[in-house]
Structure formats: structure tokens, C-alpha cells
Amino acid sequence: MDLESLLPTLLGLAWLLPLASFAVILFAGPRLGSHGKGAAGVATAAIVGSFVLSLFAFISWIAQHPVRAVAHGDHGAAHASADPAHGATDHADASHASAAAHDEHGGQHGESAAHAGSPVHYSGDWYTLYEGGRLKLSIGWYVDALTVLMFVMITFIATCIHVYASGYMHDELHDITDHEVHLADGGHLHRPGRFHRFFQALSLFCFSMLGIVIAGNLAMVFIFWELVGICSWFLIGFYYERKSASNAANKAFIVNRIGDFGMLIGLMALWGALGTLHFADATGPDGHVRPGLFTLVRPPVAGHAQWVPDGMVKFAAAEKVERVLLSHADDPRAGVEQVEAKVEDWRDEGYGRWLLLVAGLGIFCGCIGKSAQFPLFVWLPDAMEGPTPVSALVHSATMVAAGVYLTGRFYPVLTPDALLVIAYVGAITLFIAATIALVANDIKRVLAYSTVSQLGYMMLALGVGGWLAGLFHLVTHAFFKSLLFLCSGSVIHACHTNDMRKMGGLAKAMPWTSGTMLVGCLAIIGAGVPFLDIGLSGYYSKDSILAQALLFARENPAHSILFYAVAGGAMLTAFYMFRLWFMTFAGKPRDHHVHEHAHESPPVMVYPLVALSILAVVAGWTLPGGFGIANMIEQARPAGTGGLELGGLLFSAFTVPAEHASHAHDIHVTASLTAFATAATGVLLAALMYVWGIIPPAMVASAVKPLYTFLANRWYFDEIYRFLFVLPVLGLSQLVSGTDKGVIDRMIEGLAWGAKQVAGFDAWIDRTLIDGLVNGTASATYSAGLELKKLQTGQLRQYVMFIALGTVAIFVLAGLLFRSSFAG
Amino acid sequence: MMDFFVAPSILLPGLSMPSCLATVPLFAANPFTEPVGVIHYLVVGAVLFTAGIACMTLKRNALGILMGIELVLNGANINFVAFSSSYLRGEGAPTLGLDGQVVALFVILLAAAEAAVALAITLNFYNNHATVDVDRADDLKG
């Protein structure tokens, strides 16, 4: 079977297996084993199946498309002179030249993918939801190296977490007394366990997440985007009896809606102007090729340089189009031709550039919500109310990375202005989140803010032109962050508290957990040896981000703050991660009660830690010969995004530098040294404060008390949002409900009252007049009967008398009346 | 006064009264001096009728009332018979002919039937009330 039909089959099955597991648990959940214990087995079997299928797809991919080093190598070595064609593009007018020179398909993907035509990809539709006119909605696939890699990454982490969760959630197998829920009678909530429901939601989540990754068009992305949103809601609110959990779930859902609103605007802009949401070109049954988004925005005709698609130009210049068509009213065909001829002029005049920007920023809005970027990051720390395996899978490794993934997938459509916005949003996010993480005491919250901060890194990397750096960091981060969360879950499992101030000295009690967590911490701070270029996974990804940010800062001195944000963020990361590790595992126990009960977690929870820690170490490595995650992602680089791009619609002109230029020796070395120095400073500072106690943390806190309070209160974001948005909305809704109750209800009640009065009057008329008439007739008849019955004396003789006299009277009367006739 | 005695017969069906009245004056002369004619029979019938009515109204005995009824019916019968006789009516005057006789026979028949029913009622009444006093028979009093 060739790859074209093999990959959709394999990945499609891998995608649907968790759905099957969801269905099985949904319908047979509590009957699977005792107390639904079998649910874990079903879900784990499904995700393991997905992993095996993904791995098979991965192997067949690399067999067909060998992953080799890109022309410029990935670290060090000679770059600029290695390939004259690429060298020429370094500072020339962008992709026009480069892509034209390398417009090739298939064949030597490994080498040419970076700057050549479209990357190797397979796309198609499984099922068409709707088709009318030029609009088509479908469930389809878009598979390239990135998709395959994401499948393996997601299913691997999900497998680890399923195994881990089957140990972590064992409490849910029996009835549970939730000590965090205080009932009105002072007691605690007692409820049945929900083991199977956890795995049911987890399976649905895996299905939805894989759906986003495999999606062949933005509409499908949006569908699964919302599905992961609802799964996140289920899982954050897993302990929904706790007020904090249900609030956190609602907060996550509502905050994400805000971002999704922007995403809808982006979708509408694309669909309205271009009439397609497909990523790739599609060949219809009639052999007609419908160009996808990527082709429309970066057509091969223009050498894969970004331009405003015809549809958007015409859409934006609708008035001019109308005028031209009207002037050719007698010959519509000539009018259409005239419009087509003028599109080029209008494009040069700048029509549609704003529309393209709005489309890009709109889609990015959805990513802001999902990937917890400033200003919508407030939901993610609260989302830690969910069980820890959920935090590890959904809220650090996969779902929140979906925003970064989509930004990366959607990269060709983003204009330089949009990229700069993304970079700044990322920079602000990474800085704010890192500062808050410095003072957080809840172990999971530190990790949550760290996640937000790292997502900021990825966004910044994408924004400054580091497409590969951002997505590379996405993959490596997924491994070490899920590892960190699972370690924290293991600690919480042992200590029954989230508060780091009660921990300390746990390294002896939990050797495996502390060891693997140390690996995770080292990976996240990007530990490595600068000149030997050896390090943990984070070292490579973070270095490439730093290098790209540095390059961007050099090209655009006005934006050098982006580099300082990254460098400063690296130091903060190192500080808070090691603060976490030292406070938890090093030093002396602070709370003996906690310390005595601490124990290593069961093997079912430790194995995933080990597996993930191995990947946290090696995920960034590039094997001799070029095989490595970075080079594999490079295979999927969208056409035309390797070169320089000039911006300047929103901001004064700036340059988005080509990514391979960041591999230049001086940039690379400066970046690695900066990374090493900042990380070492951070770790040293943490050690000084929390291990050796040379600088007592309490003293620091009191020395900068206002700042400390500011950070401890999370920059007062929740309070500001409460004041700015929540309270006005509540006030407005109170006003509306007041209007409803005070005006509309009153009006309706008044109408009802009026109707009641009318009815009362009507009833009165009915009772008095009509009933009176009827009753009066009846009683008159009755009394007449009473009177008449007196005639019925029963005296026979009297009757005879009456008859006789009556007869006589009749004769008398008749005689009087007819006298004349008698008389003749 | 004689108008009143004649009146019932004028109302009888089948009798074209105006022509009869026009041809035969009722009060030609003193009845006591005249030869016996229709008038005399009519007077006897009227007396019988009046006596019957009086009997019906005044008697309290149910059997007495029944007798009164017989008198009334027979008073009427006499009128029929008188009007059916061409002899009494005089030469050329219109008569009821055999119709009058037949009606009289019917009345007799009817009276017999009525008497049979009335007597049965009376007997039952007697069984229930141990009397035939009609003043006591006020069960149907309103």
C-alpha cells in the first residue's frame, strides 16, 4: 500500500479508536469490571492501539521520506556558504527568488523542504458534511510530517497518562468522601466513585485532540477545537461538587468562548472571501482543482510569496468590482474579464490586505484562548482544579498546545503584522506568567504558570519567524511538562497536599519521583553544554527560540525587547523550576506529618515517569545522519515561509528574518551562551535561597513587599477582570433581569390582571343577567305552576262544574261574537 | 232564551245551519199549543242534559255522577234522533237522516264502554278507599 492511502487509514483508525473506547465506556461504563475498573483497561487499550498505529505511520513515513539534515544543518557548522541558492535569499527580496528556484514536489523532500514548494503532504476528504456552490464542509485529513509527529507525541503521552491515571484515580473505584466539600449540615460530601467517567472523558479528549491534528480544513479544526474545549470542561469540573472546580471549569469554558469568537470572525473572513477552508488543494471528481488556503495565499505563481488572494482583493474592492460590472452591463462576460484583469492593480493598491490580517489575527484569537495567552491566560491556572493526570495531558502537553499547533499549521496565511502581534502577545504572556510562578506556593500552580510561560515562548518563536523553533519547543515541552505534572501528581498523591511549604526533603522517600522530576526541571530550563551542543530536549528547542529572537532583534532593533523577554524569561524559568524542586525534595522536612506519610508511588505510576523522562532527555537530539524531531518538523515547513518577509501595515516597516539564518555561528553561540548564563543564574539564585539559605526568601519577600504582594496576587488580573468585565456583565444581566422582572413581567402581569378584570365583569354579567334571565324564567314558570296547581283541587264535581260553566261561557261568548250571523 | 238550546246543534258538523234557520223559524208560536215537533224534543233533550249536568256537579256518589253522565249523553242522543227524523222536521226540510241515527247508536255504544271503564275505576277506588265519595278522591290534587 502506498503512503497516500496508508497514512489516512492508519491515522484515521488511530483517531477513531479512542472514540470507540468512549462509546464503550459511555454505554457499559459501570458494568466494566467491579466498580467500572475495566474502563481504564478499555481506554488504555484504545490509546495504546492508537499509539501503535501512529508509530507504524511514523515508521512508514520515515521509510518513505528519510529525515535528513536540512541544507544548513541544525547547529553550528558552516551555513551561509553551503548552498549558494539559499545564501542568496538571506537578505534578498524574500521568497520570490528562493521558492521559484526550488519549486519542486516529491523527490528530495529532506533537503529541499525548507525553501522549496509545498511540503510533502497527503490530503483528502472522508466525508462531506455540506456542499453547495463553491462552499464545502467536510471531514478530511491533511497529513504531513508534523501531523505524523504530533500523532506519535500525543498518543505516547496519552498512553503514559492513561497508565498513570489508572493508578492515580484508584480512589474513585469506591465510594468517596470528599473532604473539600462542606455540606450545609457541616458534614462532608459522600458520593459514589466516578472511575469510568474519568476514562470516558479522557478517551473523548484523545479523539478530539487527534481530530484537530489530522483535520484537513479549518471548519473541522473548529469542530474538534470545541470538542476539546468541552472535554476540558468535563475534566476540570471532574470534582464538580467542589465550588472551586465547577467555577474553574466554567471560567475555562467561558474565557475560551471569547477567543473562539475571534476565531469565528477569522473563519468567516476566510470563507466569505475565499470560499474554502481547506488547507490543501483538492482535486474534484471532474478533475478540477480547487485551490486550498495555502495555495491561495502563497501561490506557486508568486513563488510561494505571500500575497492577498484574488477572492480577498475582490471582496475588499467590492465597490470597484460592482462599478466595472455595471459599466459592462451589456456584456457580462467582458465585465468579468475586466475585473480579472484589474485584480492585479487593486492588489497593488493594497486592497484586501486588512482582510488577510483580520483573518490571521482572528484565527490567532482562538489560539490565544486555547493556548492561554495574554490576555486570556487566566483560566489555565484555575484549570488545575482537575485531577493531575488531566493537568498533565490536557492542560500542559496537548490541548493547550493546540493553539500553538494551529498557529503553526496556519502559518502561511499569517501576515508579518499578524506575526509581530503574535510575538508581542507571546512575550507579554511569558513574562507575566513567569513572574507569577516565582511566588506561587501551590505546586500545580507553579507548573501551570510555567506552562503559560512556555506557551508564550512558543508563540513568540512563531511570531519572530521561528516556525520550526516554536513547533519544536511544542513537542519537547509536551514531553517534559507532562513529566513534570505527573511527578507533581505523584508528590500530591503521597503528601495529600498541593502546598509546597508543607513539603521538603522528600527526595529520600520518593527517589524515582524526585529523580525524574529533576530531569524534567533540567529539560525545561534547557540545560546543556553550549560548545559541545549536547543537552536535554529543552536545550535545543529553547536555544533555537533564543537564536531566532536574537536574529529578529538584530534585524529590527526597535523590537529588541522581544529578545530580552526571552532571555529574562529563561532566567525566571530556571529560578521557579528549581525553587519548586528544592522546596519539594531538598532540605529538611517542613511538615513532619506530611513527611512521615510520604511514600513512593506504585509502579504503575512510576513507569510512565521513567518513560517520559527518557523522552524528555532525548526528544531534542539529532542522530548522526540527521534523524531528529527538528528535521522531521522541517519536512513540513509550509511553502515560502523560510525566507524573509517584510511587514508594515499596522506597524512601521520591519523584517521577519529567515529561520535558517538563526543557525549562523555567531547568533547561535550568543544565544546558547545567553541561555546557559541565564539558566545558571536562575538555578544558582534558587539554590542560594532555598538550599543553602544564604538569602532567606522571607527577607526578599519583605524587602520588595509591594512587588511580592503584586505577584502573589497574580498581577491582580482576576480582580481587574472581575472589575472590568465580570461585574459589568453581572450588572448588565441584573439590569436586564430587573427589566424583565420589573417591566416585562409587570406588563404581562398587568395584562393578566386586566384580562382577569374583564373576565370578572363578564362573569358578573353571566351570573346576574343571563343566569337571572334563565333562572327568572324558571322561577316564574315554577311559581306559575304553584299557582296553577291550586286549580287542581281534586274535586271532581268542581271540575264538572267548570266544564259545564266553561261550555256555557263559550256559548255565551260565541253567541255574543256571532250574534249578527245568528240573526241572519 | 231558546237561542241557547239551539246553539249546540248549530255547531254540529254536517249541518248547514244558515239555510235551515232561514227556512224554519224556531219561534213560530207557543210550543204548548203547537203539534209535537223538533222543538219539543230539543226541550226534552235540554232538560235531560241540564239534569245530567246538575247530577254530575251535585252528587257526591261516583255512581250518581255516572248516571248524570248517562243523562247528558242521552240528552244529546235525543237531539240527534230528532234532527234525523223527516217527520218531525216537516216536509222538504233538511235532516240528518240515517247519519243522526248512526251517531246516536255510536253514542250509546260509547256510553256503554265508558260506563264499563268508569265502573271499573269506581270499583278500584272503592277497594282502595272503602268509599265511592268523589270528594274523597282528591289524590290528584295539585
Cα–Cα distance list, A800 to A813, B65, B72 (Å): 19, 10, 12
pLDDT given for residue A175 in this prediction: 83
Task: Select from A466, A646, A443, A618 the least CA-distant residue to A550.
Answer: A466
pLDDT given for residue A700 in this prediction: 84
pLDDT range class, residue A675, cuts 50, 70, 90: confident
Q: Is A415 left (phi over 0), alpha (psi -120 to 50) or beta?
A: beta
Arithmetic mean of pLDDT, A191-204: 89
CB contact under 8 A, A814 and B58: no
Question: What is the average pLDDT score of chain B?
Answer: 80
The CA distance from B138 to the nearest CA of chain A, in Å, is 4
Q: Does the pLDDT value for residue A214 go beyond 80?
A: yes
According to the per-residue pLDDT averaged within each range, which of A58-72, A91-105, A480-494 is highest? A480-494
C-alpha grid cell for residue B91? 216536509
Tell me, what amino acid is at A702? Answer: S
More confident call, A265 vs A700: A265
C-alpha grid cell for residue A752? 393578566
pLDDT tens per residue, range A533-577: 788 888 888 888 999 999 888 888 888 889 999 999 999 999 999
- A213 vs A225: CA distance, rounded Å: 10
Q: B25 at the A interface (CB within 8 A)?
A: no
Q: In terms of C-beta density within 10 A (0-12 exposed, 13-18 middle, 19 or more buried), how is residue A147 classed?
A: buried
| Residue A246 CB contacts under 8 Å (≥ 6 apart), including other chains | A237, A240
Asked if A668 and A662 count as a contact pair (C-beta separation under 8 A), the reply is yes
More confident call, A360 vs A591: A360
Q: Does the pLDDT value for residue A352 go beyond 60?
A: yes
Beta strand extents in A185-313 (DSSP E only): 188-191, 282-283, 289-290
CB contact under 8 A, B56 and A800: yes
- Tell me whether the omega of the peptide bond preceding residue B31 falls within 30 degrees of 0, making it cis: no
Three-state secondary-structure class, residue A344: helix
Asked if A378 and A429 count as a contact pair (C-beta separation under 8 A), the reply is no
pLDDT range class, residue A90, cuts 50, 70, 90: very low
Which of A787, A789, A790, A796 to mutate against chain B (most B CBs within 10 Å)? A796
pLDDT given for residue A70 in this prediction: 63
Task: Select from A456, A396, A450, A401 the least CA-distant residue to A423.
Answer: A456
Arithmetic mean of pLDDT, B17-33: 57
- Residue at B31 is within a domain: no
Asked if B134 and B56 count as a contact pair (C-beta separation under 8 A), the reply is no
> Residue B86 sits in which domain range?
38-139
How many Å is the maximal CA-CA distance in chain A?
A: 160
Arithmetic mean of pLDDT, A434-438: 90
Q: With contacts defined as CB-CB under 8 Å, which chain B residues touch A811? A: 4, 7-8
pLDDT given for residue A86 in this prediction: 38
Q: Is B132 left (phi over 0), alpha (psi -120 to 50) or beta?
A: alpha
pLDDT range class, residue A806, cuts 50, 70, 90: very high
CB contact under 8 A, B135 and A795: yes
Three-state secondary-structure class, residue A215: strand
CB contact under 8 A, B22 and A824: yes
In B, residues 47-86, which contact A (CB 8 Å cutoff)?
53, 56-60, 65, 68
- A239 vs A494: CA distance, rounded Å: 19
Least confident of A537-546, A648-657, B37-46: A648-657
- Residue at B125 is within a domain: yes
Q: With contacts defined as CB-CB under 8 Å, which chain B residues touch A792? A: 140-142
pLDDT given for residue B9 in this prediction: 44
pLDDT given for residue B25 in this prediction: 52
Arithmetic mean of pLDDT, A191-219: 90
Q: In terms of C-beta density within 10 A (0-12 exposed, 13-18 middle, 19 or more buried), how is residue A63 classed?
A: exposed
Q: Does the pLDDT value for residue A715 go beyond 80?
A: yes
Arithmetic mean of pLDDT, B10-24: 46
- A543 vs A461: CA distance, rounded Å: 11
Arithmetic mean of pLDDT, B81-100: 86
pLDDT tens per residue, range A362-380: 999 999 999 999 889 899 9
Asked if A650 and A421 count as a contact pair (C-beta separation under 8 A), the reply is yes
- Which percentage of chain B shows pLDDT scores above 70? 79
Query: In sequence order, what are the beta bridge partners of A628?
Result: A622
Arithmetic mean of pLDDT, A283-303: 81
CB contact under 8 A, A824 and B65: no
Asked if B45 and B75 count as a contact pair (C-beta separation under 8 A), the reply is yes
- Residue at B64 is within a domain: yes
Whole-angstrom distance between the N-terminal and C-terminal Cα of chain B? 38
Angle between helices A195-214 and A399-409 (to 10 degrees): 10
Q: With contacts defined as CB-CB under 8 Å, which chain A residues touch B59? A: 797
Q: What is the DSSP string of A8-63?
A: HHHHHHHHHHHHHHHHHHHHHGGGSSGGGTHHHHHHHHHHHHHHHHHHHHHHHHHH
HSE at residue A246, side-chain half, CA atoms within 13 A, is 6
- A391 vs A372: CA distance, rounded Å: 14
Q: Does the pLDDT value for residue A114 go beyond 70?
A: no
| Residue A516 CB contacts under 8 Å (≥ 6 apart), including other chains | A483, A487, A609, A610, A612, A613
Q: With contacts defined as CB-CB under 8 Å, which chain A residues touch B135? A: 795-797
pLDDT range class, residue B17, cuts 50, 70, 90: very low
Q: Does the pLDDT value for residue A409 go beyond 80?
A: yes
Arithmetic mean of pLDDT, A385-390: 88
Locus of grid cell 246516536? B104
- A285 vs A190: CA distance, rounded Å: 60
Q: In terms of C-beta density within 10 A (0-12 exposed, 13-18 middle, 19 or more buried), how is residue A500 classed?
A: buried
Q: Does the pLDDT value for residue A318 go beyond 60?
A: yes
* CATH number for position B91: 1.10.287.3510
C-alpha grid cell for residue B71? 243523562
CA torsion sign for A529, A533, A535, A537 is positive
pLDDT range class, residue A253, cuts 50, 70, 90: very high
CB contact under 8 A, B4 and A811: yes
- Residue at B28 is within a domain: no
- Which percentage of chain A shows pLDDT scores above 90? 33
**CB count in 10 Å sphere of residue B132:** 18
Phi first, then psi: give them for residue A371, nearest 5 degrees. Answer: -95, 15
More confident call, A12 vs A104: A12
Helices (H), A140-217: 145-168, 195-214
pLDDT range class, residue A208, cuts 50, 70, 90: very high
Least confident of A339-343, A406-410, A650-654, B62-66: A650-654
Locus of grid cell 510520604? A598
Three-state secondary-structure class, residue A116: coil
- Residue at B116 is within a domain: yes
Arithmetic mean of pLDDT, A95-118: 40
- Residue at B13 is within a domain: no
Asked if A368 and A259 count as a contact pair (C-beta separation under 8 A), the reply is yes
Arithmetic mean of pLDDT, B100-123: 93
Arithmetic mean of pLDDT, A465-491: 91
Q: With contacts defined as CB-CB under 8 Å, which chain B residues touch A800? A: 53, 56-57, 65, 68
Q: With contacts defined as CB-CB under 8 Å, which chain B residues touch A790? A: 142
Q: Does the pLDDT value for residue A347 go beyond 60?
A: yes
The DSSP symbol for A91 reads S
CB contact under 8 A, B8 and A794: no
State the total domains in chain B: 1
Arithmetic mean of pLDDT, A243-248: 90
Question: What is the average pLDDT score of chain A?
Answer: 84
Torsion angle of alpha carbons A305, A311, A312, A316, nearest 10°? 140
**pTM of the complete model beyond 0.80:** no
CB contact under 8 A, A797 and B56: yes
Arithmetic mean of pLDDT, A472-482: 92
pLDDT given for residue A588 in this prediction: 80
Model ipTM value: 0.71
- A36 vs A594: CA distance, rounded Å: 31
Q: Does the pLDDT value for residue A89 go beyond 80?
A: no
More confident call, A821 vs A137: A137
pLDDT given for residue A88 in this prediction: 36
Which of A795, A797, A807, A821 to mutate against chain B (most B CBs within 10 Å)? A797
CB contact under 8 A, A800 and B139: no
The DSSP symbol for A794 reads -
- A368 vs A722: CA distance, rounded Å: 19
**CB count in 10 Å sphere of residue A554:** 16
Arithmetic mean of pLDDT, A721-727: 88
pLDDT range class, residue A822, cuts 50, 70, 90: low
- Residue at B26 is within a domain: no
CB contact under 8 A, A804 and B57: yes
CB contact under 8 A, B142 and A788: yes
HSE at residue A508, side-chain half, CA atoms within 13 A, is 8
CB contact under 8 A, B141 and A793: yes
- Number of residue pairs across A and B with CB atoms under 8 Å? 54
Sequence length of chain B is 142
The CA distance from A782 to the nearest CA of chain B, in Å, is 13
pLDDT given for residue A495 in this prediction: 84
Arithmetic mean of pLDDT, A465-489: 91
pLDDT given for residue B26 in this prediction: 54
Q: Does the pLDDT value for residue A820 go beyond 70?
A: no
- A536 vs A59: CA distance, rounded Å: 24
CB contact under 8 A, A804 and B142: no
HSE at residue A283, side-chain half, CA atoms within 13 A, is 3
- Residue at B123 is within a domain: yes
Helices (H), A317-352: 318-327, 332-349
pLDDT tens per residue, range A572-620: 999 999 999 998 888 788 877 777 778 888 888 888 899 999 988 988 8
pLDDT given for residue A16 in this prediction: 93
CB contact under 8 A, B65 and A822: no
Q: A793 at the B interface (CB within 8 A)?
A: yes
Q: With contacts defined as CB-CB under 8 Å, which chain B residues touch A804? A: 53, 56-57
Locus of grid cell 507504524? A56
Q: A128 at the B interface (CB within 8 A)?
A: no
Asked if A683 and A578 count as a contact pair (C-beta separation under 8 A), the reply is yes
- A123 vs A116: CA distance, rounded Å: 19
pLDDT range class, residue B10, cuts 50, 70, 90: very low
pLDDT range class, residue A761, cuts 50, 70, 90: very high
pLDDT range class, residue A91, cuts 50, 70, 90: very low
- A449 vs A383: CA distance, rounded Å: 11
C-alpha grid cell for residue A718? 482576576
